[in-house]
A and B are shown apart, each in its own frame.
Chain A
Amino acid sequence: MISIDNLTISFSGKKAVDGISLQIEPGEILGLVGESGSGKSVTALTLMGLLASEGVMETGTIDFNGTCLLKAGVKPDQKLLRSFRGDQMSMIFQEPMTSLNPTMKVGPQIDEQLLLHAKDDFKSAEERKKRVLETLEGVGLRDVEKVYDSYPHQLSGGMRQRAMIAMAVILHPALIIADEPTTALDVTIQNQIVKLLKEIRDREQNSMIFITHDLNLARRICTKLAVMKDGKIVELGSTEEIFTNPQTDYAKKLIAAVPGRKNSKSAVHREIERIEPILTVKDLNVFYKERSKKLFGKTEHKCVVKNADFEIYPGETLGLVGESGCGKTSLCKAILGINNDITGNVKISTVRPQMVFQDPYSSLNPSKSIGWLLEEPLRAEDILEKSIKYTKETRKEMAIDMLRRVGLDEYYYDRMPHQLSGGQRQRVSIGQALITKPSLILADEPVSALDVTIQDQVLELLESLQEEYGLAYLFISHDINVIYRVSDRIMVMKKGEILEIGDRDQLFDNPKHPYTKELLAES
């Protein structure tokens, strides 16, 4: 139905897509998988005719049901492309918050599809509205009248993505391109959206291109996979074939890096001696102040973590899962002492615990060198602890030593953060956390922003450091597969409450709480 033939796209001379050919048949879900920068999104955007003006189509043709949409060297017919876009093929984007117009109500944004492509099929605006409401219902939204009149920011992430999907399916296009449609969503919502996409495909029999970096996800939804690397398709075949019998080294590496129960790296079960806990949290309630909207209303204390009760032992990893807003980060802040508005008890038997954050791009000060950043915790310690005095030289020595330990060369000492890749930056963040030699590290989604293979390397680093120093981790992640791989015990949180805490394998084999069951359902 759709055929891409020998497509090459370059950005200022550099090839982003390099001679790929693909066929998509009706009813098929083709997964485009690969790491960031492998050319997945560029391919999809080109197919939509949405390639940025800096991109040059050097070779290739794209045919859609016998119509030639794009051909290298021929100026694209924008009018033809516009008539296909939205009507014949539509796209679902990653970020449902920014992908919808913030100053336009959701209903009219969906209605725009009808206005643009099928205005004559409807007699009136009311009829179009009826159709939009039906479609909103079709994507599993309730209270559709209200959704219709809502602005995007008034909806939750999952609802926004459903609205986005409604927009994409309202005209029953032959092809739907979904570009990382669930990456920005919570796990349980992610599962719902994947289910919805499958339902739509079954109902309408349209083809789908599903772009993702998450191989577990691709395995669940796609019928066919194209593994991309550096702009080339390195392997193409049915999903089962590629997962059970990958041909190329790259595909093998990629599949081996996927965390999960089926992965041998995860299967190790360690025996931890639990004698003296390094962290004891007892009856902990964490509050934050919320200012009342009323004129003379009092500021209210909102309880964001309720009766937390757990401990972590030396050398152990406690995995913490839960949706965004469930109180994971508030819990960390309370343990670190950043938020003092607490009741209950936090007892730590080590020096100041340190934290590793999610986004290695924004959590390192861009104007400081790596060496300076690594030394910063030492400087802070210098001020806080009277007994410790570092000279400039010892600080530098310690920073360089730490660089080696996190697997970076000495010369990175003088580099700036923007010169490093995401994985390297996360290594620096880990080095920063370790340099004051704490025995407890709080890791808040430390690998969520990284590609699978990089993720694998960073996890390996964390594991080897744990072994070497007997570190204890409180490891937060929304990715149940990553949690499975790193944790000895797992703690499940929802709405500020700890629902369940237990040994990893027991919890996976025999989840007690229904919410845990839901979380684990698709792992």
Chain B
Amino acid sequence: MKYFIKKIVTLIITLLLVSILAFLAFQIIPGDVVHSILGTEATPEREEALREELGLDRPPVERYLNWGKDVLRGDFGVSYRYSKNMNEMMPVKELIGDKLPVTLWLALLSVGITVLIAIPLGVLWAGTKNKFLDGVLNVLTQTSMAIPAFFLGILVTYLFGIAFKMFRPGAYVSYKTDFGGFIHYLIFPAIAIAIPKIGMTARFLRNSTLTELTSDYVRTARSKGASEKRILFKHVLRNAMLPVVTFLGMIIAEVVAGSIVVEQVFALPGIGRLLISSISTRDFPVVEILILYITFVVIIVYFIVDVLYRVLDPRIREK
């Protein structure tokens, strides 16, 4: 109980701090939202009028508090940049709500692919006595980690899209119209995201498995006459997974925040692209909520990792 209360208090304090920092950052960076909205039609009078309409003429502290009050009430404000139609402004909630499923599904798929491939690969790699296989895996994982994300995206597009014709590059299908087609399209960017993560996770698991294999309890298991296979799966795997779980948590937090490069390469309307474009147009309400979302997700993911760690390691459970 104490544990959960502590976690929730930490979450609230972190969100508060991050929102203040994001607000401050917007005060400091150069560029004026009014300019960017009006563009060439700007005249000093129109600018003044818009500034007043958006409440930007008030002192910063008041603006922050007003914004904060609204957010607590569940009103995330409207985007400065996007509009629903000619007469209506675009609510931030709707804007993000539209793009969130794309990023979340992409994250789920890429993490799924990573876990499904990296864990068996890592264990197999640690268990192999074959020098050749060891060398091949070493080179492969090394390479997968070294290729830049955008190039990997192009490579996947070319290979699966143009050479094997498994999907039509650039022809994103919205989840609203065809969910099956949406997932089918997402698999390929997910592969592009997963490839370096698979390399890292497999290496990591291999190394922690090899370290565990030298420990005393493995010697005990051998002295009981257990086979190497049994030792690997019954004794070592759970212990070797402990550091990997933390590592996977970091990866999940990273992809859930939106993979900007891959979203760009595959023309996906996700969170990452929205964040970049909103920052460049000084669309403060959108950026602020996006940053809070990312902070929230990262903390929640780490919390889940923490819980999982407790499940795996009885020694931590009691502390």
B235 within 8 A of A: yes
> By the criterion CB–CB under 8 Å, are A151 and B315 in contact?
yes
Q: Which residue of B lies closest to A117 (CB)?
A: B225
Query: Within A82-108, which residues are at the interface with B (CB < 8 Å)?
Result: 82-87, 90-91, 93, 95, 98-104
Q: Which residue of A lies closest to B226 (CB)?
A: A116
Query: Within A30-89, which residues are at the interface with B (CB < 8 Å)?
Result: 48, 50, 81-87
Of A48, A112, A295, the most chain B CB neighbours within 10 A belong to: A112
Q: Knowing A103-B239, A104-B235, say if A112 contacts B224 (CB, 8 Å).
A: yes
> By the criterion CB–CB under 8 Å, are A87 and B225 in contact?
yes
> By the criterion CB–CB under 8 Å, are A84 and B225 in contact?
yes
Query: Within B297-319, which residues are at the interface with A (CB < 8 Å)?
Result: 312-315, 318
Query: Within B198-238, which residues are at the interface with A (CB < 8 Å)?
Result: 215-217, 219-227, 234-235, 238
Between-chain CB contacts (< 8 Å), 11 pairs: A82-B225, A82-B226, A85-B222, A85-B224, A87-B225, A100-B220, A101-B217, A101-B239, A112-B224, A112-B234, A154-B314
Please tell me which one of the listed residues B5, B216, B225, B312 contacts residue A116 in the complex, with CB atoms under 8 A apart: B225
B224 contact set on A, CB distance < 8 A:
85-86, 90, 112-113, 116, 167
> By the criterion CB–CB under 8 Å, are A91 and B223 in contact?
yes
Q: Which residues of B does A touch, CB under 8 Å?
A: 1-2, 5, 215-217, 219-227, 234-235, 238-239, 312-315, 318
Whole-angstrom distance between the alpha carbons of A102 and B221 in the complex?
12
A112 contact set on B, CB distance < 8 A:
221, 224, 226, 234
Whole-angstrom distance between the alpha carbons of A84 and B227 in the complex?
12
Q: Which residue of A lies closest to B215 (CB)?
A: A98
Q: What are the 10 tightest A-B residue pairs by CB atom distance, in nearest-first order?
A: A85-B225, A86-B225, A86-B224, A98-B216, A151-B314, A295-B2, A91-B223, A101-B217, A82-B225, A99-B216
Whole-angstrom distance between the alpha carbons of A113 and B230 in the complex?
13
> By the criterion CB–CB under 8 Å, are B238 and A103 in contact?
yes
State the interface size on chain A (CB cutoff 8 A): 32
Q: Knowing A112-B226, A294-B2, say if A101 contacts B312 (CB, 8 Å).
A: no
The interface residues of chain B, by DSSP majority, are classed as helix
A293 within 8 A of B: yes
Q: Which residue of A lies closest to B220 (CB)?
A: A99
Q: Knowing A84-B225, A86-B223, say if A100 contacts B217 (CB, 8 Å).
A: yes
> By the criterion CB–CB under 8 Å, are B226 and A98 in contact?
no
Q: Knowing A84-B225, A87-B225, say if A93 contacts B220 (CB, 8 Å).
A: yes
Q: Which residue of A lies closest to B231 (CB)?
A: A101
A85-B224, A95-B216, A102-B314 known; 10 other A-B pairs, CB under 8 Å?
Answer: A50-B222, A81-B225, A82-B227, A86-B223, A101-B217, A102-B315, A103-B238, A103-B314, A116-B226, A295-B5
Whole-angstrom distance between the alpha carbons of A164 and B216 in the complex?
12
Please tell me which one of the listed residues A90, A98, A100, A294 contacts residue B223 in the complex, with CB atoms under 8 A apart: A90
Q: Knowing A98-B215, A103-B313, say if A83 contacts B220 (CB, 8 Å).
A: no
What distance in Å separates the Cβ of A339 from its nearest Cβ neighbour in chain B?
23
What distance in Å separates the Cβ of B286 from its nearest Cβ neighbour in chain A?
38
What distance in Å separates the Cβ of B190 from its nearest Cβ neighbour in chain A?
32
Whole-angstrom distance between the alpha carbons of A145 and B276 in the complex?
60
> By the criterion CB–CB under 8 Å, are B219 and A93 in contact?
yes
A154 contact set on B, CB distance < 8 A:
314, 318
A90 contact set on B, CB distance < 8 A:
223-224
A352 within 8 A of B: no
A102 contact set on B, CB distance < 8 A:
217, 239, 313-315
B234 contact set on A, CB distance < 8 A:
112
> By the criterion CB–CB under 8 Å, are B2 and A50 in contact?
no
B223 contact set on A, CB distance < 8 A:
48, 50, 85-86, 90-91, 93
B1 contact set on A, CB distance < 8 A:
295
Query: Within A104-136, which residues are at the interface with B (CB < 8 Å)?
Result: 104, 112-113, 116-117
Whole-angstrom distance between the alpha carbons of A81 and B238 in the complex?
26
What distance in Å separates the Cβ of A63 from its nearest Cβ neighbour in chain B?
19
A153 within 8 A of B: yes
> By the criterion CB–CB under 8 Å, are B226 and A99 in contact?
no
Q: Which residues of A does B touch, CB under 8 Å?
A: 48, 50, 81-87, 90-91, 93, 95, 98-104, 112-113, 116-117, 151, 153-154, 164, 167, 293-295
> By the criterion CB–CB under 8 Å, are A103 and B312 in contact?
yes
Whole-angstrom distance between the alpha carbons of A270 and B312 in the complex?
58
What distance in Å separates the Cβ of B123 from its nearest Cβ neighbour in chain A?
16
Q: Knowing A100-B220, A102-B217, A294-B2, say if A153 contacts B314 (CB, 8 Å).
A: yes
Whole-angstrom distance between the alpha carbons of A295 and B4 in the complex?
10
Whole-angstrom distance between the alpha carbons of A293 and B222 in the complex?
39
Whole-angstrom distance between the alpha carbons of A205 and B226 in the complex?
26
Whole-angstrom distance between the alpha carbons of A87 and B224 in the complex?
7
Whole-angstrom distance between the alpha carbons of A83 and B226 in the complex?
9
A113 contact set on B, CB distance < 8 A:
224
B314 contact set on A, CB distance < 8 A:
102-103, 151, 153-154
> By the criterion CB–CB under 8 Å, are A99 and B225 in contact?
no
What distance in Å separates the Cβ of A93 from its nearest Cβ neighbour in chain B?
6
Whole-angstrom distance between the alpha carbons of A167 and B224 in the complex?
9
What distance in Å separates the Cβ of A377 from its nearest Cβ neighbour in chain B?
36
A104 contact set on B, CB distance < 8 A:
235, 238
Whole-angstrom distance between the alpha carbons of A164 and B314 in the complex?
19
Q: Which residue of B lies closest to A88 (CB)?
A: B225
Whole-angstrom distance between the alpha carbons of A444 and B25 in the complex?
55
What distance in Å separates the Cβ of A299 from its nearest Cβ neighbour in chain B?
14
Of B224, B226, B313, the most chain A CB neighbours within 10 A belong to: B224
What distance in Å separates the Cβ of A44 from its nearest Cβ neighbour in chain B?
10
Whole-angstrom distance between the alpha carbons of A293 and B1 in the complex?
10
> By the criterion CB–CB under 8 Å, are B221 and A101 in contact?
yes
What distance in Å separates the Cβ of B2 from its nearest Cβ neighbour in chain A?
4
Whole-angstrom distance between the alpha carbons of A98 and B315 in the complex?
13
Q: Which residue of B lies closest to A167 (CB)?
A: B224
Whole-angstrom distance between the alpha carbons of A403 and B313 in the complex?
47
B221 contact set on A, CB distance < 8 A:
101, 112
Whole-angstrom distance between the alpha carbons of A103 and B245 in the complex?
15
What distance in Å separates the Cβ of A152 from its nearest Cβ neighbour in chain B?
9
B235 contact set on A, CB distance < 8 A:
101, 104
A116 contact set on B, CB distance < 8 A:
224-226
Q: Which residue of A lies closest to B241 (CB)?
A: A103
Whole-angstrom distance between the alpha carbons of A117 and B224 in the complex?
9
A117 contact set on B, CB distance < 8 A:
225
Of B215, B225, B234, the most chain A CB neighbours within 10 A belong to: B225
B220 contact set on A, CB distance < 8 A:
91, 93, 99-101, 164, 167
Whole-angstrom distance between the alpha carbons of A106 and B220 in the complex?
13
What distance in Å separates the Cβ of B213 from its nearest Cβ neighbour in chain A?
11
Q: Which residue of A lies closest to B217 (CB)?
A: A101
Whole-angstrom distance between the alpha carbons of A81 and B225 in the complex?
8
Q: Which residue of B lies closest to A98 (CB)?
A: B216
Q: Which residue of B lies closest to A87 (CB)?
A: B225
> By the criterion CB–CB under 8 Å, are B239 and A83 in contact?
no
> By the criterion CB–CB under 8 Å, are A93 and B225 in contact?
no
Whole-angstrom distance between the alpha carbons of A85 and B226 in the complex?
9
Whole-angstrom distance between the alpha carbons of A484 and B189 in the complex?
74
Of A91, A93, A98, A103, the most chain B CB neighbours within 10 A belong to: A103
Whole-angstrom distance between the alpha carbons of A95 and B217 in the complex?
10
Whole-angstrom distance between the alpha carbons of A98 and B226 in the complex?
18
Whole-angstrom distance between the alpha carbons of A104 and B231 in the complex?
12
Q: Which residue of A lies closest to B317 (CB)?
A: A151
B215 contact set on A, CB distance < 8 A:
98
Whole-angstrom distance between the alpha carbons of A98 and B5 in the complex?
34
